[in-house]
Structures are given as C-alpha cells and as structure tokens.
C-alpha cells in the first residue's frame, strides 16, 4: 500500500491552529504568494468566485483567454508545477477558467508569456510560428501551454496528439499545429524548465481566501464541511462550470484535492485483495500510476482516453466524478461493472457503500451532509475455483464528438467466459436514466448461456429495454435504446478473432 505524501511533507506540515481554517502566520504568508513566470506575486483579490484566469489576466498576462468558461476550448490553458511520477516535478496543463484563483497559493504557474521572449522564442512557439500554426492567435497561447506540458513530459519519445484534445482552433486548422508538435525534439537538460523537473514541487499549504479554505488535514476538512453551505472542491471541473455559467456561489469551498488521507493508492500483488483508489487522485495521475497494474483496472484504462480531454483529466478526480452524482459521468458505468464500493468518511467515522446502492436520484446519493468520498474500493474478481476464465472488457462512449464531449450513452461491460459459457456478466450504463445503473436483467439473460449469436440477440433485446432514457439535446430516447441494443454485437465484434465472418461478428444482425 502506498500513499502520496508530497502534498504535505512532515517537515512542512503545519501545527495546530487557533481556529480551524485559519493557518499560522508564517504558513499564511507563504500561501499568499504565487510564483508566476519565475517571479513572486502576492495573491491579492483571489477570493471566490475569482478564477485563476481572471487573476492572471488582472496581472496583465492576457495571453490566456476565456473562450467557453467550461473547460472545452483550452484557450485558458496554463502550466502548474505538480508532484511528478518519473521526476520530482512535472509541468501540468490545466484550464485556468475553472481553477479557483485561491488554489494558486504557494504554487508555481507558467503562462505562455513565461515560456519565451519575442527575441528568443520557446521551441514550441518557434515551431508553431514557422509552420503556420497560428492565424487569429486567440487560441494559440492555450495550445502553446498544452504543447509545452507534453514537450516536458518525462520519458517522451514522440508527441502524444491526445495532449491537445482539449484545445480548439477555429481558423488555422489542425494540420500545421500537429506538424509543429511532431517536429519537437527532446527538451535540452540545460533548459531551465526541464531542469526544474528535478526539484521538489511546491507544497500545498493550508490557507484561507474568503469563502475558500484549504484545510491542514482530513479532521479539519470534516469540521469545516459541517458548517452550513460548505461544499468540498477538488479539481473544480464541475463546480467551476456551475460558478461560471450558472452563478453558483457556495457559502464555503473546502479544498480537499491534496489531502493525503484522500490520496491512498493500493495496488496489491495478491490478486484476491481489493484495489483502493483514493478519491483525490486526478484521472491523469491514476492513469499513469496504475498502468500495467492489477488486471481489474483494465476497464478503467479503456475509459481514460475517452474521458473529456487531457486538460480536464489533469484536474478531475475520481471522487469528484462520483460525488457530483451526474447520470452521464463516464467513470460510474465502469465502476459499476467492476462491482466497486465507495468509502465514505464523516464526523461519525467511515462506512462503505456498494456503488449500486450509492445513487438515489438525479445528482443525489446516500452521502450525508458533511461526508466525503475518501476512496473507491474495487474488489478482486470472483474466485473461479482455480480455473482462469477468459475476461472480456469494453467501454462504449456514444457522443457527438469523439473526444472532449459528454456522453449520450455510456456502456461498460465485463464478461467472463469458461468453455464457451458466460460465467460472469456485469454491465454498467450511463445516460439512460436519472442515475448510472447496472443492467441486471441483461446480465441475467447472459449468465450461464453460451456466448453465441442467439444468446447475444436475445440479451440485446433485453439491454435495449433497460433504463428510462429521455429525449434531450444530446440524443433521443429512441437513439439511446438503439445504441443499447447494438452494444453486445459491437462488444463481440471487438473481441472476435481476426478472420471471423461479418455475420458472426455482428451477432447475425448484419
């Protein structure tokens, strides 16, 4: 079992305070300064609802722009120095339009202005310039920052185009931008920003800025959350949208994203033990830290590339995705198919709830006022008497855009086969009811039956009737049911051996 401790080191951990939410003077002074493009800046005027984007632009750094105010265009992207996996620090690209300015306290921020000068362009800026990667220039600073994060990614052998999946350009077209990205070589170790990766990342210090507070530990967080109107905030990818577009103004925001107690990560070597994922890990952190780990996580690794964009995944947390209770959150269907449990913690202690029992209504759950999601526990697969079954997993996200979009329908499937029979079936669904749900009737229709075209046709008819889909701006109810009805055929085709006939691959539906 491992826990991340870089967020609050023993030496830097603050002592008791006179009043909860008010850090000691020395700590408060450090948390009231932000290093912006290498220079210290006092964090003034950062009280909610001021965003990091607004605060930076108030300093005269107008490169980052507000395009959508909901994290979909990337025009606001900036870089933060975050604890790394392969190096002490990693430059991480985030949407500044969603991040509360107060969260910048004690941190290091880079904007496009800090990457290079007009007489000495950064390699990313130079490649974009010579290859015609900028036209009107509105989106360019955001592209520069997202590209720079990938440029400085430790161990990079080639440029991952998915690093730009959260950046939109409406006039240049993507070919010259991608050509510029592909032309980037390795960062020189003499590059100050590359060298910075080998030094420790800034510590997240307890602080309070108006209605935003970063507690010192879990106990203080729970005490603060007991106050009327207090809500937890981690990556702010949902709450930031609510604040920007719907005027949400919680009485108190309690930052829980760096609490060590919420950053447990247990990847046991023994296959019969559960995997534990702390609620405050971002999806990008989990994706990288669990690659090649427990087989039970294979379904989540099918979800990550389809979950929003890299910019969002760098902030969004597993606990936040479940905590919002959204019926179209992409993680919930996969975690339902994995029989996951939610570990809740409050003033009265901990309790564990099966995810199938967690959601109670539209954006509602069994989580009580003042409780936090501490972790998600994924049990080991059922014991099959020593006979390892064939394990098939799949995640289908049906949306208007391939990336960086909200699901119209999400379908997660885990099927175990033994001697051609279905010995286990778990199907999680999103976007077809007021809550994410398990397709129990379909699972029953599959269990114990041969994995053949006849079984799939019969089970597909059952799956098409699951849930209570509605007509909305994303899709009609009829379309959603049609997607459910095709899911098992598509799932089989994805796992069919090469050379199988088209009719068998489609379950006889062709």
Instruction: Give the CATH number, domain containing residue 328.
Output: 3.30.465.10
Domain membership flag for residue 234: no
Domain membership flag for residue 233: no
| Euclidean distance between CA atoms 372 and 343, whole angstroms | 9
Domain membership flag for residue 479: yes
Is 355 in the same domain as 276? yes
Rounded to the nearest 10 degrees, what angle do helices 453-464 and 477-495 cross at?
A: 150
What are the DSSP E strand ranges found in 58-120? 77-83, 89-95, 108-110
In this structure, are residues 19 and 227 in contact, taking their beta carbons and an 8 Å threshold?
A: no
Question: In angstroms, what CA-CA distances link 145 with 103, 113, 153, 333?
Answer: 19, 10, 12, 32
Which CATH number does the domain housing residue 173 bear? Answer: 3.10.20.30
Is 47 in the same domain as 185? yes
| Euclidean distance between CA atoms 47 and 237, whole angstroms | 18
Is 62 in the same domain as 163? yes
- The whole-number pLDDT of residue 380 equals 87
Q: Which of 198, 218, 234 is the last residue of a domain?
A: 198
Pairing of strands 230-233, 89-95: unpaired
User: Residue 343, SS3?
Assistant: strand
Check the CA dihedral 359-361-365-366 and report its sign. negative
Residue 360 half-sphere exposure toward CB, CA atoms < 13 A = 6
Domain membership flag for residue 426: yes
420 alpha-carbon distance from chain centroid: 36
Is 356 in the same domain as 439? no
Is 173 in the same domain as 296? no
Q: DSSP labels for 360-395? A: EETTEESPPTT-EEEEEEEPPPPP-TT-PPEEEEEE
Is 68 in the same domain as 180? yes
| Euclidean distance between CA atoms 431 and 401, whole angstroms | 16
Residue 211 half-sphere exposure toward CB, CA atoms < 13 A = 17
- The whole-number pLDDT of residue 149 equals 98
Domain membership flag for residue 253: no
Query: How many structural domains compose the chain?
Result: 3
- The whole-number pLDDT of residue 272 equals 81
Is 352 in the same domain as 431? no
Residue 158 half-sphere exposure toward CB, CA atoms < 13 A = 6
- The whole-number pLDDT of residue 194 equals 97
3 alpha-carbon distance from chain centroid: 19
Which CATH number does the domain housing residue 465 bear? Answer: 3.30.390.50
Q: Count of CB atoms within 10 A of residue 155's CB? A: 7
Q: Which of 378, 402, 427 is the last residue of a domain?
A: 378
- The whole-number pLDDT of residue 14 equals 38
Q: Which of 198, 216, 241 is the last residue of a domain?
A: 198
| Euclidean distance between CA atoms 345 and 337, whole angstroms | 24
Is 360 in the same domain as 395? no
Domain membership flag for residue 62: yes
pLDDT in tens, the chain (510 residues): 444 333 333 233 333 333 455 666 777 778 899 999 999 999 999 999 999 999 999 999 999 999 999 999 999 999 999 999 999 999 999 999 999 999 999 999 999 999 998 899 999 999 999 999 999 999 999 999 999 999 999 999 999 999 999 999 989 989 999 999 999 999 998 999 999 999 999 999 999 999 999 999 999 999 999 999 999 999 999 999 999 999 999 999 999 999 999 999 999 877 788 999 999 999 999 999 999 878 889 999 999 999 999 999 999 999 999 999 999 999 999 999 999 999 999 999 999 999 999 999 999 999 999 999 999 999 987 644 445 689 999 999 999 988 889 999 999 999 999 999 999 999 999 999 999 999 999 999 999 999 999 999 999 999 999 999 999 999 999 999 999 999 999 999 999 886 665 444 444 443
Is 403 in the same domain as 464? yes
Domain membership flag for residue 251: no
Is 357 in the same domain as 414? no
Domain membership flag for residue 352: yes
> What range defines the domain where residue 270 resides?
260-378
Q: Which residues pair with residue 34 across a beta bridge?
A: 41
Is 315 in the same domain as 435? no
Phi and psi torsions of 412, nearest 5°? -115, 130
Is 63 in the same domain as 166? yes
Q: Which of 169, 189, 196 is nearest to 109 (CA)?
A: 196
Q: Which residues pair with residue 346 across a beta bridge?
A: 349
């Amino acid at each position: 079992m491992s826990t991340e401790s870089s967020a609050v080191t023993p030496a830097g951990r603050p002592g008791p305070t006179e009043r909860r939410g008010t850090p000691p003077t020395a700590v408060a002074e450090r948390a009231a300064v932000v290093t912006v493009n290498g220079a210290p800046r006092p964090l003034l005027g950062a009280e909610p609802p001021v965003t990091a984007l607004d605060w930076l632009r108030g300093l005269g750094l107008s490169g980052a722009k507000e395009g959508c105010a909901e994290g979909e265009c990337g025009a606001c992207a900036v870089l933060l120095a975050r604890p790394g996996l392969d190096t002490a620090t990693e430059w991480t690209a985030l949407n500044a339009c969603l991040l509360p300015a107060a969260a910048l306290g004690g941190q290091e921020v880079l904007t496009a202005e800090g990457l290079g000068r007009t007489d000495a362009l950064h390699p990313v800026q130079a490649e974009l310039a010579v290859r015609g990667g900028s036209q009107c220039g509105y989106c360019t600073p955001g592209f520069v920052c997202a590209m720079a994060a990938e440029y400085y990614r430790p161990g990079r052998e080639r440029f991952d185009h998915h690093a730009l999946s959260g950046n939109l350009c409406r006039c240049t077209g993507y070919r010259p931008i991608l050509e510029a990205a592909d032309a980037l070589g390795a960062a020189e170790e003499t590059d100050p920003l590359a060298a910075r990766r080998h030094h420790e990342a800034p510590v997240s210090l307890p602080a309070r800025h108006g209605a935003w507070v970063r507690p010192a530990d879990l106990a203080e967080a729970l005490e603060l959350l007991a106050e009327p109107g207090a809500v937890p905030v981690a990556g702010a990818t949902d709450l930031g949208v609510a604040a920007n577009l719907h005027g949400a103004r919680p009485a108190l925001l309690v930052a829980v994203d760096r609490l060590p107690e919420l950053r447990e990560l247990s990847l046991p070597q023994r296959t019969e033990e559960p995997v534990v994922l702390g609620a405050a890990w971002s999806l990008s952190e989990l994706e990288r830290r669990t690659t090649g780990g427990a087989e039970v996580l294979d379904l989540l690794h099918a979800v990550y590339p389809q979950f929003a964009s890299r910019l969002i995944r760098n902030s969004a947390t597993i606990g936040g995705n479940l905590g919002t209770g959204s019926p179209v959150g992409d993680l919930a269907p996969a975690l339902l198919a994995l029989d996951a449990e939610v570990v809740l913690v409050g003033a009265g202690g901990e309790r564990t709830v099966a995810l199938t029992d967690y959601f109670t209504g539209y954006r509602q759950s069994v989580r009580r006022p003042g409780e936090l999601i501490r972790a998600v526990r994924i049990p080991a697969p059922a014991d099959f008497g020593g006979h390892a079954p064939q394990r098939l997993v799949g995640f289908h996200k049906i949306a208007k855009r391939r990336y960086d979009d909200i699901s119209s329908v999400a379908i997660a499937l885990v099927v175990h086969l033994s001697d051609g029979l279905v010995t286990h079936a778990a199907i999680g669904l999103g976007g077809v009811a007021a809550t994410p749900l398990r397709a129990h009737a379909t699972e029953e229709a599959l269990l114990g039956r041969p994995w053949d075209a006849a079984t799939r046709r019969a089970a597909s008819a059952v799956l098409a009737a699951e849930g209570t889909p509605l007509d909305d701006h994303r899709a009609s109810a009829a379309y959603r049911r049609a997607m459910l009805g095709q899911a098992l055929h598509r799932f089989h085709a994805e796992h069919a051996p090469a050379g199988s006939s088209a009719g068998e691959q489609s379950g006889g539906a062709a």
